[in-house]
Chain A
Amino acid sequence: DAGVIQSPRHEVTEMGQEVTLRCKPISGHNSLFWYRQTMMRGLELLIYFNNNVPIDDSGMPEDRFSAKMPNASFSTLKIQPSEPRDSAVYFCASSLEPGTPQHFGDGTRLSIL
C-alpha cells in the first residue's frame, strides 16, 4: 500500500519566493496534518484537516503560511513570501479518523537562502 506521499523531497529557494509543499494522504484517510520539525523547536503541529475542512490552524506561525485541502487526496502548504527562518523539515501525516494513529510521509526538507 502506498503511504503518505510528499513532494518535493528537497526544496532550496531564495527568500521572498513562494514555496508550495504538496501532500497526498493515504487513500481512505479522513484526517490530514501538517507538522514542522526544527532543531530548536522540535516537531510542531501547524494545521490539521478532517474531511477536507481545516479544524485547527492555531499552529500556523504567520499569515505568510496557508494550507488548503481541495479534495480528499491532496493538500498543499504554501509560504509566501518565504524567509530563512522557515527553513525546516515539513511533514504531512494522515489518519483514518480522529484518534487513530497518524502515518507520516518522508517530509520535505526546505532551505530558504
Chain B
Amino acid sequence: AQSVTQLGSHVSVSEGALVLLRCNYSSSVPPYLFWYVQYPNQGLQLLLKYTSAATLVKGINGFEAEFKKSETSFHLTKPSAHMSDAAEYFCAVSDLGGGADGLTFGKGTHLIIQP
C-alpha cells in the first residue's frame, strides 16, 4: 500500500525567504508523485508532477521539487516566498504500477507567509 507523509502541518516563512515543504512517500512500485496547492474555498491545482523522467521537476509559480529515491522524498521548494504563496499544499502519490490510479494524499501543509 502506498502512503505519503508531510512533515509539519504548518510552515511559516518570511516574505522573500526560502520555502521548503517536506514530503516522504512509500510505494511498492516506482511512483508517480505530485504536488497540489489549495487556496481557500477552492479545489486543488496541480503545481508539478514527477513521472520518472528528470529527478528535478519544475512547476508553476516558481516551485520545484526533487525526487530522491534513496530518501523516498519529494520535497517542494521555492527560492523566494511571496505573499500570494500562502495556501495549503498537498503531496500525493499514484500507484500506477499496481493498476490503481486514484491519488493518495498527505495530510497537507499550511504555508504561512510573514510580511
Cα A43 to Cα B88 with chains together (Å): 12
Cα A105 to Cα B38 with chains together (Å): 11
Total contacts A-B at CB 8 Å: 53
Beyond A42-B106, A42-B108, A106-B41, is A101–B46 a contact (Cβ under 8 Å)?
Answer: yes
Question: B interface, how many residues as a size bin?
Answer: 20 to 34
Minimum CB–CB distance from A29 to chain B (whole Å) comes to: 12
- Determine the main DSSP class of A at the interface with B: strand
- Give the residue of A44, A59, A99, A107 whose beta carbon is less than 8 angstroms from that of B101: A99
Binding site for A on B (CB under 8 A): 32, 34, 36, 41-46, 49, 51, 90, 94, 96, 100-108
Binding site for B on A (CB under 8 A): 4, 31, 33, 35, 42-45, 48, 50, 55-56, 59, 91, 93, 95, 98-99, 101-107
